[in-house]
Structure 1
């Protein structure tokens, strides 16, 4: 089994940073990355979309203190152009940003709302076999009462792109149960070359958007387009659900927290302690306090009030139930 990047091999870490929430999430990611990852082969790139007709306002990082902190953490701000997506589907940034990375070098993409918990050099990546996050719920598709079922919907997509459907299935799961089908959260993914992965990802995503199979009639593509195209991309490139040993990403090494109230509600004490340790230095604190959810949750103790509402060893099964409880208590912020 692979034990991580080969000695001397450069591995590029990619996140997106832009005006608004993501620039502060990128700052927190960079601070946690710099604090805990000391393996030489890793380089952090913060992809920054550039103004164009596809954006209704300037999407670039607007807080100069964020820029300074990113550079202080060793990150490189990487401008990229949107040619297919923009304000109408900002999730598309994670696809188009791949083309700005150096070709032929392995990469790992993370959603910006991720906290690094340990040295990424511990993760046993096999960059020839891509994978992505299995920490997800069955969010898509939602079959209609008299419409096609999950098998028909997913098979139509594999057929649309000339991919083998049967080999993607987890046959230990029952037919028409969402876990039977290859499905990921797009919070992280990786491969040996960003250009190859990006071209496959883009081709599939644009193909679904512009010419969906008729079985998708009535299905919502926004915001799920990236998570629909991702498993097809990974399958096409020889990866799958078992390509990465469990327990590392979305586990001991990283946490995809998504929103601060959810982090405090459901993550382990180790995650909360890592967050607080990362956010404590003055150079980090003065930046993160510019973003109201971070200021209130981390520095004004609202996060601990959220945490006290839940038994982290006995959480509600559905995320929506957690959100509703926090909102009833007047503690929700995003």
Structure 2
């Protein structure tokens, strides 16, 4: 099997590529390596993928239709996993045009290339941010027509465009709504790595709100397994990939880090950000039925894998811009 994975230098993209390659697939990884967060993290992930003989890297932007056409003309892909996206709720409020271009138009470009080359299978990463204001635990049938950030709106646009291509051209589309992914080599703009480093350094943690806001944390290994499982024929399905248990508060995450590091956090509270969700919690029954998937890595064990990775790579991780 030969798979195009966009966003291969991203957090989920890196781990998904790793597991695909370990299973014997050929992977063409594509990434623009933008500077939304410190590129040294992306370079580390790419260096890790380079050890696999079945991996080929192409530096490119999914908004570049000419380059995409060239890529699709020179490879015969069995499926596309689109993990390329501008992430981050708060920054999307500062630069919404970038988000619509990458997350919506970029997805459309891939769909058009797939249509032209007769490639029918797409796995598309989406987000739990679409469920803002809905009753928990979030189930896939909930109406998600009121996104509260440009990021969420751009992801909704990608979902509905993928449906259009399913309807018109019989594409087989698996849309995966990820819930707060964490683990080794996670994004330095997200709280797990930031809080871990700040506690280790003795730097005060900037915490928006009182810390009782909670997330359905999901380990990157579980997310990657679910993403690969979604390559099976499904028609058109939207599927949650999340921890599936009671959501875990930010305060609890801080407590676990304190225990693993043997250090006490210093916390500076700031007002809660209106674009953030107070809580997320996934109903994952559908993933179990359609993908035979459930998360296998518990929260405390998962945080330990992050702490272990951090301590092994501490010298250069301390230099990352957070």
Could you tell me the TM-score, scaled by structure 1's length?
0.33
Larger strand proportion of the pair = 2
Could you tell me the TM-score, scaled by structure 2's length?
0.34
